[in-house]
A and B are shown apart, each in its own frame.
Chain A
């Protein structure tokens, strides 16, 4: 062989380890805390979130005249705000996770369908994408929710359709370019079935882009969920979510603002933390997504 001695392979430069900015570190810490609260809500809640304490109605939090019995105070029925907050965090995160995953799976699937079949299938998907992108999602969601009544499953699925068109666009674009001249066409001509091409090759290659899109959509879904719940059209009592707590706490804005402030700041901090971490991830991993 003409070249029995191959030139030594120059190893790719190791990924540079840049220091994690302080804001991102705090954001990650907050997200971890929220996840822990969501997982351990039953264990760490001092009371059941529906337990009434009628002698201690609208009692203030510690520091402004309240007692340690109810650290963040109680609501109009004497329910412990801290316990309700923990369960609301669990509910809101659960809904946001479920909806984000549904949206990503549905959108990516539609994008792949469009890329695989082209022709009228693609036109139909693109028309749906245009349709979704051209209307404020809140309006669509309001119409669907009120007329279908309200179950938690429907609510999660509905929120899943928020931003599905972004995944569909990304997945379609990347799958087409992979199939046109790239590795996907190469694998297909090896005799691979379409499922193998999409699952084993295209999906892993576009996963980082999709995951970044998910971190961008996640806070939006939390905001949507809390907005709809605030309007009384989302999570229904006795279940509780962050927006739902704000909505019901609003009636006691003057007498017991703590009912509303605790979930309100939780929403702000959580969406802020995820946005900061998501932006940082995007800048580091995928500069094309802006």
Chain B
């Protein structure tokens, strides 16, 4: 188990290192940031001073080493636009994003999983078909279209809710619903197929043939086993708590990390983009790690193997 953990951790660190390298390569390949930030007709001395200030006049490998070293020490650079620490700029946006993504996650899990289980247990029923049709719709309607349609109905036509911006909890309703519906559809579809797979297994048929009540079979055997693959996709959703709202935040002009990213990308603000990339990678990798650990807790075979190994 320790060895398993160590290899997982090594992989996670490798992924982070690759993201850092990716960010460095992409950002440095893309052209001279000095010319992008300064206007083209800026005096050469000013450009040179800018380069020196940001370390852009050093050889590339030197920049890379320094860059890597700085990140290891927790220094993620300063915004080239307003000179503040990128990490501060990004972290002060995180609460706003979480204010959307956490309730949305609750909607996804609260609606998606029960709907998927119900559809699987009543396969081919009218409800199953309805749930699956809605799930396919939820998957194929892009979030910006869904968001704008909601705005059109609830803000423009009915005037019940604000169409964008922030301030009150009422501003958050439409973006949260937009995020939640799409994710719930994906989760419902996934849970249903995981359940159906489990329900088709011989041990389920054996248990119900032995006379175990169907409810007990579902609760004791089917649900725990179907939970294993479902945890993976929930892990992915948790990992994208920070990055998952880029488009929706733009639709609703919500001042979160995603909005910041789009603006930073348009402004070519290297440090901020890198910082968000790293932050997103770190959350994804961390939630993957947690999923791996949960596997151990959920899968009785793994649990047994561990007990056997310890004893």
* A contact residues vs B (CB 8 Å cutoff): 127, 130-131, 134-136, 138-140, 142-149, 219, 223, 226-227, 230-233, 243, 246-247, 250, 253-254, 257, 260, 264, 267-268, 271-272, 275-276, 290
Task: Say yes or no for B284: interface residue by CB 8 A criterion.
Answer: yes
Residues of chain A lying within 8 A (CB to CB) of residue B152: 253, 257
Would B151 and A231 count as touching, CB distance under 8 A?
no
Would A142 and B151 count as touching, CB distance under 8 A?
no
Task: Say yes or no for B226: interface residue by CB 8 A criterion.
Answer: no
Would A233 and B262 count as touching, CB distance under 8 A?
yes
Task: Say yes or no for B250: interface residue by CB 8 A criterion.
Answer: yes
User: Given A136-B280, A142-B261, A143-B277, are A231 and B247 neighbors across the interface (CB < 8 Å)?
Assistant: yes
Residues of chain A lying within 8 A (CB to CB) of residue B139: 275
| Interface 0/1 of B111-145, CB less than 8 Å to A | 00000000000000000000000001101111111
Would A143 and B273 count as touching, CB distance under 8 A?
yes
Would A276 and B136 count as touching, CB distance under 8 A?
yes
- Label chain B's interface by main secondary structure: helix
User: Given A135-B281, A136-B244, A139-B277, are A272 and B261 neighbors across the interface (CB < 8 Å)?
Assistant: no
Q: A250: nearest residue on chain B (CB-CB)?
A: B148
Would A267 and B265 count as touching, CB distance under 8 A?
no
What's the least CB distance linking B25 to chain A, in Å?
A: 10
User: Given A134-B15, A136-B244, A227-B247, are A264 and B145 neighbors across the interface (CB < 8 Å)?
Assistant: yes
Residues of chain A lying within 8 A (CB to CB) of residue B163: 253
Task: Say yes or no for B243: interface residue by CB 8 A criterion.
Answer: yes
Residues of chain A lying within 8 A (CB to CB) of residue B38: none
Residues of chain B lying within 8 A (CB to CB) of residue A275: 136, 139-140
Residues of chain B lying within 8 A (CB to CB) of residue A136: 240, 243-244, 280, 284
What's the least CB distance linking A265 to chain B, in Å?
A: 8
Residues of chain A lying within 8 A (CB to CB) of residue B266: 146, 232-233
CB-defined A-B contacts under 8 Å, sample of 29: A127-B18, A130-B11, A130-B14, A131-B22, A134-B15, A135-B281, A138-B247, A139-B277, A139-B280, A140-B277, A142-B246, A142-B273, A145-B265, A147-B31, A148-B26, A226-B142, A230-B247, A243-B142, A246-B144, A247-B144, A253-B148, A253-B156, A253-B163, A257-B152, A257-B156, A268-B140, A268-B141, A272-B136, A272-B137
Find A146's partner among B15, B243, B268 (CB 8 Å cutoff).
B268
Q: B273: nearest residue on chain A (CB-CB)?
A: A143
Residues of chain B lying within 8 A (CB to CB) of residue A233: 262, 265-266
Residues of chain B lying within 8 A (CB to CB) of residue A127: 14, 18
Would B268 and A272 count as touching, CB distance under 8 A?
no
Would B148 and A264 count as touching, CB distance under 8 A?
yes
Q: Please measure, in the bound complex, the distance between the C-alpha atom of A206 and the C-alpha atom of B173, giving whole angstroms.
A: 46
What's the least CB distance linking A254 to chain B, in Å?
A: 5
Would A227 and B148 count as touching, CB distance under 8 A?
no
Q: Please measure, in the bound complex, the distance between the C-alpha atom of A250 and the C-alpha atom of B253, giving whole angstroms.
A: 12
Would A131 and B262 count as touching, CB distance under 8 A?
no
Q: Please measure, in the bound complex, the distance between the C-alpha atom of A149 and the C-alpha atom of B19, giving whole angstroms.
A: 20
Would A268 and B261 count as touching, CB distance under 8 A?
no
Find A134's partner among B29, B247, B285 (CB 8 Å cutoff).
B285
Task: Say yes or no for B27: interface residue by CB 8 A criterion.
Answer: yes
